[in-house]
Structure 1
Amino acid sequence: MVLDTTPAGGTLAGLGRFCFRRRRLVLLVWVVGVLAVAFAGFGYGAAPDNDFSGGDSPSAKAQQLMVKHFPEEQGDTLTLAIRADRGIDDPAVRRKIEKVVARLAGSPVTGPVTSPYQDRSLVTRDRRIARTSIPLSAKEVEKSEVKPLVDAVKEASDARVTLALGGYMAEKAETPPQGPAESVGILAAAVILFIAFGSLVAMGLPMVTALLAIVGGLALMKLVGHLVPAPNFALTFGAMIGLGVGIDYALFIVTRYKDGLADGADPESAAAEAIATAGHAVLFAGTTVVIALMGLFVMGQRLMTGLAVATSLTVLVTMIAALTLLPAFLGFTGHRINALRLPRRSSRRDGSAAARSPKRLTLAERWARVVQRRPLIAALLAGGALLILAVPTLSMRLSQPDASVQPRDRSSCISYEILAEGFGPGYGAPLVFAAEIDSEDTDLGPVAAAVAGTDGIAHATPPRVSSDGKAATFVAFPTTGYQDEATADLVHRLRDDVLPGTPGGERVLVGGPNAGTIDVADEVGSRLPLMIVVVVAMSMVLLIALVRSVTIALQAAVMNLLSIGAAYGVLVAVVQWGWLGTALGFPAAMPVTTWTPMMMFPILFGLSMDYQVFLISRVREEYARTGDTREAVARGLARTAKVITAAAAIMIAVFTTSLLGPDVAVKQGGLGMAVAVLIDATIVRMVFVPAVMELCGKANWWMPGRRKPGSSASVPLKVEEGAGV
């Protein structure tokens, strides 16, 4: 099929022509704008907010009560863990411990420190393991102020005594920066683009466009954080998503531009046509991802809303850059888009008659015809494989990473292991019980006794009354750890059975970090199905409007759900079951991080819809020309296989590089999305789509109110040219 080289019309074509002609002005506006936003965002942007508490959960209410009536206990604390095989009373060991305690007490960021030699409750019976708490004097302490303390304690360890500092701030201070992960992703994307395009210039345009857009997008994220707070991993996640979609969007447009030049169009007309066609698909793609991300609003969690807004900003900026900055760059390159080429054998265009002849079928077209000969078997095999991969999803557990799942050489992890050995694994998972009381004479002793006698509780502290006499609290320590499923079951049993069945217990709230994590996980589990329904419904409406087919929209929704389910299953098998977990950088088997599945779903559904559009729109173009679904599917797959493969490879490379970073939660998200894109680009696009479309035949193009397939009224506007990649 010979592409029409007449000048493209419409708003997007006009935008492409304007940016091409006014390329110096467009480039100047982008550079100045990004520099200004970067200066404001990175200099005066909002600090991240990692407080996932809040709302109406019991743990949130308990926290509010503690803040109100026990404000003196709300600061962060560090925990010094000590293990001495010969006992802490050995003279040399004692000198070492007292020196470290004095060093911690003398820090300007710490409060009074009680030596384990002054309080026998801080030492185990065999005197081998001890602990003490170090309060931080300021409400806001920077991790750079805590890092010297962590290092000093760790360096004090020797063959006779092991010392380690734990606590949230110690863990945060010891976590290294993301490091080279993004750089490796950029390098991998550059290599893939160079192989796909065979030209350094063609490779460079998507890279520069995406990187400039990401800088602006990340800076905007920090500015918007003043209005809608986002957690600290939002920047890492935004950079990862922005890099992937930014390069992909530019890839589609540059490929379409090269096609236009090869068909004889002048550079300006080729750029206008690329923006009017591939740019239309990019506009849909970016809008789909943003709409899918807005589905996170349904979760009703403040920080997830902030994460959705922040990530959407990066996607929007990269999309706008592809539609405006990229055609300006094309104006500078013109016919030199293929300069600095990689030596390779010349080949005929896929769209030529020779390429479509039986003797010169492309590999993708030959594969499509193999699938079409046995479509039912292919569909069953593909669907069965996805369902098998999705099976582990049924056992998914959600939690937040704690010290127990950090790398074994981290001080926070060593501290956890020492305390678990000496005081039980539940020492790091305390449950805080709090209640408002009528007077100081109100006795919560029976409630504390009932809690202490519950199976799964190691011991409970005596109740304490607040200084204003209006609240009381006590702490109980489970026999199981933070990440254990038994701990979550214990919290539910205390709330559902023990407290309601004890006089005065009905007004007692169960809180603390552990209970808070359990409440968030329960809330996510209950709201996730609603978010999935909302995201699928909104995306289907958008896809129906674009491709004018209810059948294809339904196919896309079902296939995307299956591929995401399979990705969830692989994530559970690796992270939670521990299959290849160590090889992939996960120090220990752990539950899936609470926010990972709800963040993965909208992003992956949006990206999957993108690939569906790039493929189906080309199939729709071939069907409009021939009226033969089988030929349309085979040729559409052949015309898009190379660029979709390159786009998917870029996404996989970018997401996989997150495994090089230190944050286990971000690693989980990157692994899950890389697996989902791999499944989508192979099993779904190469097997499931051609098999199902072959089975559906002309029913693929069904739309209520449309005349029968093949008639002129059944052919939509030339939206499908957006897949000209």
Structure 2
Amino acid sequence: MNPLHRLGLATARHPWRTFAAWLLVLVAMGGFAASFGGELRDNWNVPDTRAQHGVDQLREHFPDAGGSSAQVVIHDGSRLESSVVEQVVADLEGTEHVTTVTSRLSEDGDTALFHVRYDVPTTDPDIYGIVDPLWDASTAAEDAGYQVELGGELPGTATEIEGRGELIGILVALALLVIAFGSVVAAGLPIAVAVGGLVAGSSGVMLLAGLMDVSTSAPTIATMVGLGVGIDYALLIVTRHVERLRAGDHPVDAAARATATAGRAVLGAGLTVLVSLMGLRLAGLPTYDAFGFATAITVICVMAAALTLVPALCALAGRRLMPRNERKARHEASIKPRRLDPSDGWTARWVRTVARKPVAWALVALTVLLALGAPALGMRTWPQDGGTDPQGSTTRAAYDLVTDEYGAGANGPITLVADLDQLDRREVETLHSKVAGLDEVAHSTPVVTSPDGRLAVWDIEPTTSPIDEETTAFLGDLRADVLPDGVEATGYTPILGDISELLQERLWLVVGFVVLVSVLLLMVLFRSVVVPLKAAAMNLLSIAAAYGVVTLVFQHGWGSGLLGVDHAIPVSSWVPILMFAVLFGLSMDYEVFLLSAVRDDWLDTGDARGSVVRGLASTGRVISMAAAIMVAVFLGFATESAVVVKMLGVGLAAAVALDATVVRMVLVPATMTLLGQWNWWMPGQSRLEELDATPTPIP
């Protein structure tokens, strides 16, 4: 009896003890989180970049500089009263942590732009996401009937995740499960287990926040992934349990056997997800560390819930997990228990169709994936700014007002920091005049010297917006051809540019690590060289296709209006690495589920081609249902207002849909049919050794 069988048997025999143990765990974790957990806090430092070096210089030589910033915009149809403008300046200067306030009136006098600077960084808990003081300081303008809008760095942190993504995903998943199982009890069980795991995971994330900076976005990403895999893992075990009930097993025995067989696939799938998430640490940003650890904690919790709560609930529910009409028919007709033969289903017929012409079908699948992935070759990445916020938000209104009245570049000024130990004042003045005269510069402020006389600082505004490709090119040319040694370009726009460049470089490091470790893990699980390499290649194809879909939707605007995005925008720099790490693990979930069934059949029969048909037929229904649920969950998150969450939702949903259809239903059976017994080739190991190494079947 293997350990998973013993675990399933113990929890199924003692369901109330299992529930009590979980309740104690949840209470204890909640108590520890309340006592020792920390507050969510972003860390936006970008180590070893030029923009970060400039920020560090400002913090060192300007006592109150290097902190956050905000924009307050007031607008009216006629010329603004100077007394109101002066009052707003005075009130803003009196706001806590504000060091300087500069005002700028538009040419026609109907708009005033206030640049507000703080003495603490944006991520400081005293100001992060808190914009009420800015609204309070603008009361004089509101009382005068002026339009007041907030934009820039600090107000951008006040965007909240509404939480409707989780609700939509859960409701759609419940509806799909009711249709699939024909039983409300069976449908609700996977969702209840996933939610229980998420509760434990949330406490774990708060405990993590007591040890390190955890991004405010990390719980959303963790919930998105945890909800999807939690339902999938529970669904797999419930499906196997119901199959055992139909075969005539007692509910307790059925739960134990389901945990022993499906639980092995859950463990393997969970490990691949965890490996992928650990690859985020190689991205080079503290934010990604938080994403990886928080999501990993959540995945571990939902995996533990699936392996313990599912068998307990299955045993407690008994045969109520089967459809009502099936239970009634069995009771009235006293029909004998039956073992369903999946080889007669539509999945088996489809796989046989693919297996008859595997080369042709493989080419069709490759063509589809490569065609969808082609737009990704032209993907442009850039962190988002206020111009990508939804219509109706104050940050978007402020962005549009600033663009109309002052030019798009005023939304993202660039700060130039000159080290006076390397340049004298004459050289600084010459550089100031030279930069101000560039065609790409719309506005330049006077030079300010630090109190210790070590730095000279001034701001410039490009003629284009922070997100514009021309701004990226201008920044690169400025650094390469104009700025001498000892002068750094920093501020909002350069930091975003450095983040984008860093993540583009680190993407390949993350990809290499995740693919290598995942392939090695699958080699151990399946004792094969070909299967892991083929699985990795197919996962890369489906992820590339998902990148192409995201590029088409957001960068080219294909259907983006349906998501509340009113114009084409670059793909967020945060998305590609995060998508890859999550998707590679999720794709391996389905690969492990499928290959476990195929390999078990091959070991039993020695029929390499037939095992593909039977293995896919036995798992096709559950994988399709799991994928449909996962797609529903991710599309639910695509309805959130945050653009990055929208992109992740669309990309993850597209990849899972392609993975469960084009890859699993076409490319996998076609390639495995072509390879035959070579699928299971391992250097120095014969099939007889494989059979000897196979665990004894569960009695």
Q: TM-score of the superposition, structure 2-length normalised? A: 0.92
AA matched with 2:475:
V
Report whether the alignment pairs 1:27 with 2:19. Answer: yes
Tell me how far 1:447 sits from its aligned partner: 2.2
AA matched with 1:482:
P
Aligned match of 1:433: 416
Tell me how far 1:137 sits from its aligned partner: 8.1
Spell out, residue by residue over 1:442-498, the C-alpha distance to the aligned partner (whole angstroms, 9 max, x if none): 442122223223341223223221101122212111111111111111111111111
Structure 2 CA distance for partners of 1:348 and 1:200, relative to 1, 3 Å: farther
Aligned pairs for 1:415-494 (under 5 A) are: 415-438=398-421, 442-443=425-426, 444-494=428-478
Supply the distance in 1 between the matched residues of 2:129 and 2:114 (Cα, whole angstroms): 22
Structure 2 CA distance for partners of 1:609 and 1:720, relative to 1, 3 Å: farther
Report whether the alignment pairs 1:36 with 2:28. Answer: yes
Tell me how far 1:144 sits from its aligned partner: 7.4
Aligned pairs for 1:460-539 (under 5 A) are: 460-499=444-483, 505-539=484-518
Aligned match of 1:125: 107
Tell me how far 1:286 sits from its aligned partner: 0.7
Tell me how far 1:82 sits from its aligned partner: 3.1
Q: Which moved more, 1:341-350 or 1:661-670?
A: 341-350
Aligned pairs for 1:192-231 (under 5 A) are: 192-231=176-215
2:666 to 687, 705, 709: 687
2:131 to 146, 159, 163: 146
Tell me how far 1:98 sits from its aligned partner: 4.9
Supply the distance in 2 between the matched residues of 1:593 and 1:719 (Cα, whole angstroms): 47
Tell me how far 1:570 sits from its aligned partner: 0.4
**Unmatched 5+ residue regions in structure 2?**
none
Contact 1:400 1:517 in 2 (8 A): yes
Aligned match of 2:246: 262
Aligned pairs for 1:175-574 (under 5 A) are: 175-338=159-322, 352=340, 356=343, 361-438=344-421, 442-443=425-426, 444-499=428-483, 505-574=484-553
Contact 1:440 1:469 in 2 (8 A): no
Supply the distance in 2 between the matched residues of 1:627 and 1:567 (Cα, whole angstroms): 36
Structure 2 CA distance for partners of 1:272 and 1:343, relative to 1, 3 Å: closer
AA matched with 1:66:
L
Aligned match of 1:502: none
% identical aligned pairs: 37
Aligned match of 1:171: 156
Contact 1:150 1:411 in 2 (8 A): no
DSSP-derived class of the 2:453 partner? coil
DSSP-derived class of the 1:582 partner? helix
Supply the distance in 2 between the matched residues of 1:606 and 1:345 (Cα, whole angstroms): 41
AA matched with 2:600:
E
Supply the distance in 2 between the matched residues of 1:399 and 1:640 (Cα, whole angstroms): 40
Aligned match of 2:574: 595
Supply the distance in 2 between the matched residues of 1:69 and 1:341 (Cα, whole angstroms): 77
For this pair of structures, how many residues does the alignment match?
Answer: 690
Supply the distance in 1 between the matched residues of 2:100 and 2:531 (Cα, whole angstroms): 66
Tell me how far 1:177 sits from its aligned partner: 3.7
Report whether the alignment pairs 1:101 with 2:125. Answer: no
Q: Which moved more, 1:454-463 or 1:152-161?
A: 152-161
Contact 2:95 2:133 in 1 (8 A): no
**Unmatched 5+ residue regions in structure 1?**
1-8, 117-121, 500-504
Supply the distance in 2 between the matched residues of 1:16 and 1:428 (Cα, whole angstroms): 58
Supply the distance in 1 between the matched residues of 2:154 and 2:403 (Cα, whole angstroms): 19
DSSP-derived class of the 2:563 partner? coil
Supply the distance in 2 between the matched residues of 1:77 and 1:398 (Cα, whole angstroms): 24
Tell me how far 1:112 sits from its aligned partner: 8.2
Supply the distance in 2 between the matched residues of 1:564 and 1:345 (Cα, whole angstroms): 45
Supply the distance in 1 between the matched residues of 2:44 and 2:133 (Cα, whole angstroms): 28
AA matched with 1:385:
V
Contact 2:45 2:52 in 1 (8 A): yes
How large is the RMSD of aligned CA atoms in angstroms? Answer: 3.0
Structure 2 CA distance for partners of 1:349 and 1:286, relative to 1, 3 Å: farther
AA matched with 1:713:
E
Aligned pairs for 1:44-123 (under 5 A) are: 45-88=37-80, 97-98=84-85, 101=88, 104-105=91-92, 109=96, 111=98, 122-123=104-105
DSSP-derived class of the 2:416 partner? strand
Contact 1:432 1:474 in 2 (8 A): yes
DSSP-derived class of the 2:443 partner? strand
Aligned match of 1:712: 688
AA matched with 1:65:
Q
Tell me how far 1:715 sits from its aligned partner: 3.9
Aligned pairs for 1:672-683 (under 5 A) are: 672-683=651-662
Q: Which moved more, 1:313-322 or 1:22-31?
A: 22-31
DSSP-derived class of the 1:632 partner? helix
Supply the distance in 1 between the matched residues of 2:536 and 2:13 (Cα, whole angstroms): 40
Q: TM-score of the superposition, structure 1-length normalised? A: 0.89
Tell me how far 1:379 sits from its aligned partner: 0.7
Spell out, residue by residue over 1:165-213, the C-alpha distance to the aligned partner (whole angstroms, 9 max, x if none): 223333333x344232211111111112222222122222212211111
Spell out, residue by residue over 1:673-721, the C-alpha distance to the aligned partner (whole angstroms, 9 max, x if none): 01000000010011111111122222222211122xxx43344755798
Tell me how far 1:52 sits from its aligned partner: 2.4
Structure 2 CA distance for partners of 1:107 and 1:32, relative to 1, 3 Å: farther
Aligned match of 1:5: none
Contact 2:11 2:309 in 1 (8 A): yes
Supply the distance in 1 between the matched residues of 2:554 and 2:13 (Cα, whole angstroms): 51
Tell me how far 1:309 sits from its aligned partner: 0.8
DSSP-derived class of the 2:559 partner? coil
Q: Which moved more, 1:579-588 or 1:279-288?
A: 579-588
Contact 2:11 2:311 in 1 (8 A): yes
Supply the distance in 1 between the matched residues of 2:247 and 2:236 (Cα, whole angstroms): 17
Structure 2 CA distance for partners of 1:148 and 1:368, relative to 1, 3 Å: same
Supply the distance in 1 between the matched residues of 2:692 and 2:533 (Cα, whole angstroms): 18
Spell out, residue by residue over 1:647-685, the C-alpha distance to the aligned partner (whole angstroms, 9 max, x if none): 101111111101221211111111110100000001001
AA matched with 1:452:
A
Contact 2:64 2:119 in 1 (8 A): no
Contact 2:415 2:460 in 1 (8 A): yes
Tell me how far 1:270 sits from its aligned partner: 1.9
Spell out, residue by residue over 1:197-246, the C-alpha distance to the aligned partner (whole angstroms, 9 max, x if none): 22122222212211111011011112112223221111111111111111
Supply the distance in 2 between the matched residues of 1:506 and 1:106 (Cα, whole angstroms): 35
Spell out, residue by residue over 1:109-145, the C-alpha distance to the aligned partner (whole angstroms, 9 max, x if none): 47588695xxxxx123332332223456886445675
Structure 2 CA distance for partners of 1:252 and 1:112, relative to 1, 3 Å: closer
AA matched with 1:38:
G
Structure 2 CA distance for partners of 1:715 and 1:597, relative to 1, 3 Å: farther
Q: Which moved more, 1:139-148 or 1:249-258?
A: 139-148
Tell me how far 1:603 sits from its aligned partner: 1.3
Structure 2 CA distance for partners of 1:456 and 1:262, relative to 1, 3 Å: same
Structure 2 CA distance for partners of 1:622 and 1:487, relative to 1, 3 Å: same
Aligned match of 2:554: 575
